Amino acid sequence: MTRVRTAVLFAALFAASMLPMLPPSHAAESAAALRVHTLANGTVQATVAERIGGRLLAFGLAGRPSFLRFDADAGAAEPRVDAFGENIGYLGHEVWVGPQKQWWVHQRLNPRRAADGAVWPPDPWLGLSNTVVVEDSPAAVALRGPASPVSGVSLDKRYSLVAGRPNSLRLDVRATNRRDTRVAWDIWFNTRAHADTAVYVPVAARADVRVEAAEKDRPAPRFALEDGLFALDLPAPGAADAARKGKIFLQPAAGWMAGFRAGQALVIQFPHQPRSAIHPDQGQVELYHDVVPGRPDEGILEMEVHAPYRRLAPREAMQAHELWTILPYGGPATREGHLAFLRAHARALGLGGL
């Protein structure tokens, strides 16, 4: 395992794998400003920022573009963090708390958002603050976030390469109640990918799927459910009905989902939970799909996972994790090809429901 820390060395890696459309000078400036840490073992590479919430900026096979969508031009490397600003769409992988309808209810800094029950933006202290590095090794980086006056919690994050699984990365999150009163939240993983990513989730029945449109004049996301496997519908480029915008809430039949794009397959695994453990406003798995016809770079797919909803006493903490495995995929871009690939790797990865 190797460690890449200097701006000079990282510039080439960052430009090639994470920001392929930007000139190397811009990539180097972005890397230095965000104080990045890179985990690499010759098979995969992951890039983590100390700033903007200690988020994961990139993950992919070595020498390949990142599977994640990240926008280095979205805003400053050290944005203002307060209760009146708007969200900054850096994307990448971010951690929130849920349910979304309660984001601004339990705070007094912005009374208007509390009264309105605002569902946007996310807690800026969790997503935009600088973090403190508490572990920095060739195989892992851990970061400690500040206490949020909006949600009342702090987040500790750890990203680690997995011994004996060279294609895998583990994401651990610890949420701690920093208030003198009880709080109730879940840990919410949000992985941003490209809108043309093909996604599959094991789902037992149609009743385990709920769809919500985000705008009246744009169709909601579509899907197919066959033989216990949910497949997100990807519109053909240029199709008259290509527009999509909305969210799909799922109760999975097993603890995983998979995405395929550009010769890479990302499998995200997590502890499977009963429906009763998840807040009723949410789903254990959620997919937000935004397709802008004719402008593929503006769309997005969010692959989201909720941990159990819990009530925390003062200073009490809860933990959640995901295990990511990324593999090369050279088969056809079809449901049949993707399903055959997943079945071929199901036993080695421990994928139930196939």
| Contact between residue 192 and residue 91 where contact means Cβ atoms under 8 Å apart | yes
Q: According to the model, what pLDDT value does residue 26 have?
A: 53
Q: According to the model, what pLDDT value does residue 27 have?
A: 52
pTM over 0.75, yes/no = yes
> Is the peptide bond preceding residue 99 cis, with omega within 30 degrees of 0?
yes
Q: According to the model, what pLDDT value does residue 16 have?
A: 34
| Contact between residue 123 and residue 151 where contact means Cβ atoms under 8 Å apart | yes
Residue that the structure tokens 């680690």 belong to: 160
Q: According to the model, what pLDDT value does residue 33 have?
A: 85
Residues 205, 95, 161, 35, Cα dihedral to 10°: 150
Mean pLDDT by 10 residues, the chain (354 residues): 37 40 51 88 97 98 97 92 97 98 98 98 98 96 98 98 98 98 98 97 98 91 97 88 94 98 98 98 98 86 98 98 98 97 98 94
| Contact between residue 286 and residue 304 where contact means Cβ atoms under 8 Å apart | yes
| Contact between residue 26 and residue 72 where contact means Cβ atoms under 8 Å apart | yes
| Contact between residue 127 and residue 51 where contact means Cβ atoms under 8 Å apart | no
Chain-centroid distance of CA 314 in Å reads 28
CA angle 139, 144, 150 (to 5 degrees): 145
The domain defined by 2-349 folds into Beta-galactosidase; Chain A, domain 5 (2.70.98)
